Amino acid sequence: MALEHSQAKALISSVEATRRQTHAMLSENWFPMILFGTLAIVSVPVAEFWSQTAMEALWIFGAPLAVLATGLWYRGREIEVGVSTNALPYAITGIAIIVGCTALGIAGRGGRVSYAGPLFVIGFGYLVFARLDRSLAGAILGAGMVAAAVIAFLIQPAHVYAATMLPFGVGSVLLGLWSLIQVKRVR
Amino acid sequence: MTADSGRHPTAELDETVHQRVRLGILAILSEADKATFTYLRNALEVTDGNLSTHVAVLAKAGLVRVDKGFVDNKPRTWLRATKNGRATFDAEMSSLSKLVARYQSEAG
C-alpha cells in the first residue's frame, strides 16, 4: 500500500479537522451556562434583600426546573443537529450537584458549610463537565469556584453568598455567551 | 509486530478503514455517541450514494451499527461506532502517525 508523506499528513489533518468540528458541535453548552448563571445572579438579590429561605426555595424549585429545561434543550439539539454524545455522565453529574448542594445546604444549618459546601459541589461539578467537554474555560471557572468555596469557608467574608455566587453567575453567563458566539460563527 | 520492530508502518494500515470518507465516518462516530446519516453526509461533504456505499462496507466489517427509526414521523438513520470500530480507528490513526514520523525521520 503506497502512501506518500504528504498524503498521510493530509489524511490525518482532514480527520482531525472532522473530529474538531464534531467536538465543537457536541460541546455546545451556551443554554445551561446562561440559564444556571442567570439563576445564580437572580438568587443574590433574593438572598441579600429578601431572605435566606426565599433564596433556598429559589434553588430547590429552580434548579430541578433548569435541569429539566436543559435536558429538553439537549434533546431538541440532538434532533436538530443530528449528532449526540452519551448523556449519562452529564445527567449523573447534574443530579449529584443538586443532591450534594441540597444535602450540604441543609446539613450546614446556616453555618459556613451551608454556603461554602454547595459552592464547592457546583465547582467540582463544573470541573467534571469541563473534563467531559475537554473545555479549558470551563475548567478555569470550576477551579475558581472550588477555590472561592475554600476561601469563603476559611475567612467567612461579609455578604459571603453574594461575594461567591455573583462571580460564578457572571462567569457562567459570560462563558455561555462566548459559546453562543462560537456556535453562530461555526454554523 | 509493530513499526518499532522494523515493520514498515504502511503494513499496519487497515484496508477497510484506510479511505478518507470511511476514516471520517469513524472519526465522527468515535467523538460522538451517535450521528445521523444526514449529519455525516454534510460533515464529510459527500453524496447520499457515496456515503451509503462506505457505510455498508464499515457495517459489513462490524465497525459501525446502523439503526433506523422515526422522529416526528420522518425516517431517520442513526449510526454508531462499535467497540471494534473505535479500536480500529485508534489503531489506524496511530499507524498513520507512525508513518508520518518515519517519513520525517528519514527526511531529517
**B45 φ/ψ angles, rounded to the nearest 5 degrees:** 55, 55
pLDDT of residue A167: 86
Residue B75's DSSP bridge partners are B70
H helices of A30-135, where? 30-45, 52-81, 88-107, 112-133
For A100-125, what is each residue's pLDDT tens digit? 988 887 787 777 888 788 889 999 99
pLDDT per residue, tens digit, chain B (108 aa), is 444 556 666 666 777 888 889 999 999 999 999 999 999 999 999 999 999 999 999 999 999 999 998 887 888 999 999 999 999 999 999 988 888 888 777 776
Supply the pLDDT for residue A93: 92
Q: What's the pLDDT score for residue B88?
A: 94
Tell me the domains of chain B and their CATH numbers. Answer: 11-107 (1.10.10.10)
At A52 the pLDDT is 83
* Enclosing H/E stretch for A83: strand A83-84
For residues B14 and B91, the answer to whether their CB atoms sit within 8 Å is yes
Return averaged pLDDT per consecutive 10 residues of chain A, 187 residues in all. Answer: 73 90 86 94 93 87 90 90 89 89 80 84 93 89 91 85 87 90 75
- DSSP-assigned states of every residue in chain B: --GGGT--GGGG--TTT-SHHHHHHHHHHHHSSEEEHHHHHHHHT--HHHHHHHHHHHHHTTSEEEEEEEETTEEEEEEEE-HHHHHHHHHHHHHHHHHHHHHHHHH-
> What is the model's pLDDT at position B11?
67
**Cα–Cα dist B89/B32, whole Å:** 13
Report the chain A residue with the minimal C-alpha distance to residue B96: A8
Q: Which residues of A fall below an 8 Å CB-CB distance to B?
A: 1-3, 5, 8-9, 11-12, 14-16, 18-19, 21-23, 26, 79, 81-87
- What is the C-alpha to C-alpha distance for residues A155 and A145, in angstroms, rounded to an integer? 15
Yes or no, beta carbons of A22 and B31 under 8 Å apart: yes
Q: Which residues, including other chains, have CB under 8 Å from residue A95's CB and lie 6 or more apart?
A: A67
Which among B35, B72, B100 is the nearest to A82, CB-wise? B35
ipTM here: 0.81
Which helix (H) or strand (E) segment is A20 a member of? helix A5-26
Question: What pLDDT was estimated at residue B3?
Answer: 44
Looking at residue B100, what is its pLDDT?
Answer: 85
- Determine whether the interchain pair A12/B43 forms a contact, defined as Cβ–Cβ distance below 8 Å: no
Q: Grid coordinates standing for B17?
A: 478503514
| First vs last C-alpha separation in chain A | 38
Beta-carbon separation of A19 and B27 below 8 A: yes
Other C-beta atoms lying within 10 Å of the C-beta of residue A66: 19
pLDDT for B9 equals 63
Q: Are A30 and A61 in contact (CB under 8 A)?
A: no
Q: For position B96, what pLDDT does the model report? A: 87
* Smallest Cα distance from A80 to chain B, Å: 10
Chain B residue nearest residue A82, CA to CA: B36
